[in-house]
Chain A
Amino acid sequence: MRKGMIISKQCVFKGVDCKDKSEALSFLADKLYVEGFVNEKYKEAILTREQNYPTGLPGSEWNIAIPHADFHLVNRTTIAAAILKQPVLFHSMDNIKKDIPVQIILMLAIKEPHGQIQMLQNVIQFIRNHELLKKIVDEYTEQQIVAVLQMQLNQKMGA
């Protein structure tokens, strides 16, 4: 049995004040490194990758970025999250020339070389849940967000 992924409260932040996406990405990548989830090369890979293959996902109500990097830079699978004080611009995944304002960042650290289907599907379910995202941005404390992520991202599909 695979144990659920751990969402660390040291890697979930609300009200982060960042001037641009690089600052936001560096902030989260640094936290993942300090907590031992990723190695020292992860941050650079995240920043480079975002330039070449942007991860902004345009939603109907909330745009979300899901930055990630190669599995061999990851020690333990987890997700770091930042709810920014104000949105910063990311490029859209399907159009590198299109800027979208993003307030919610989910940084994926995936150790498995073939991805982790269940967790990734949970992430996709999560980013489509506009009511929940609204609560996360408007209401929930960091502690509540950790609990929500822990529950939502570890659940079994169809359960």
Chain B
Amino acid sequence: MKRILVACGNGIATSTVVATKIREAASERNLPVTVNQCKLMEVESMASDYDLVVTSGQFGGTVTVPVVTAISLLTGIGEDETIEEIMNFVKQ
């Protein structure tokens, strides 16, 4: 099962929306996934336990796993493409 870490500024507000959308999209496709949330400043120390990092804000750090920026899941602009990108990763 793929593990996804979703991060935003304080790990509460926008990451909650993004995490919920990822869980819903995975559930619709019957794809098992674990989604957890954290603050952007915690990403570097936590990322090694995950397969993918998704952030709503700008992430300037370095991690060894892929990072997807998902502001589209908030604004709606390019949302489907971002969901597909994440779901393609989950399917792998």
Chain A contact residues, CB within 8 Å of chain B: 49, 52-55, 57-60, 66, 68-71, 92-96, 108, 110, 112-117, 120-121, 123-124, 127-128
The answer to whether B12 and A53 have CB atoms under 8 Å apart is no
**With a CB–CB cut-off of 8 A, which chain A residues contact B77?**
58-60
**With a CB–CB cut-off of 8 A, which chain B residues contact A123?**
17
**With a CB–CB cut-off of 8 A, which chain A residues contact B8?**
53
Known: A52-B9, A128-B75. 4 other contacts (CB 8 A): A58-B75, A108-B13, A120-B17, A121-B20
Closest chain B residue, CB of each to CB of A71: B12
A-B pairs with lowest CB-CB distance, top 3: A53-B9, A115-B16, A94-B71
The answer to whether B17 and A124 have CB atoms under 8 Å apart is yes
Q: How far is the CA of A68 from the CA of B56 in the complex (A)?
A: 14
Q: Report how many residues on chain B are interfacial, defined by Cβ distance under 8 Å.
A: 20
Give chain B interface residues in 18-55, CB to chain A under 8 Å. 20, 40
The answer to whether A59 and B12 have CB atoms under 8 Å apart is no
Known contacts: A69-B10, A94-B71. The answer to whether A53 contacts B57 by CB under 8 A is: yes
For A95, give its contact among B9, B40, B58, B76 (CB under 8 Å).
B58
> B15 → chain A, closest Cβ, in Å?
8
Q: How far is the CA of A66 from the CA of B14 in the complex (A)?
A: 9
Q: How far is the CA of A95 from the CA of B56 in the complex (A)?
A: 10
The answer to whether B13 and A120 have CB atoms under 8 Å apart is yes
Q: How far is the CA of A94 from the CA of B18 in the complex (A)?
A: 14
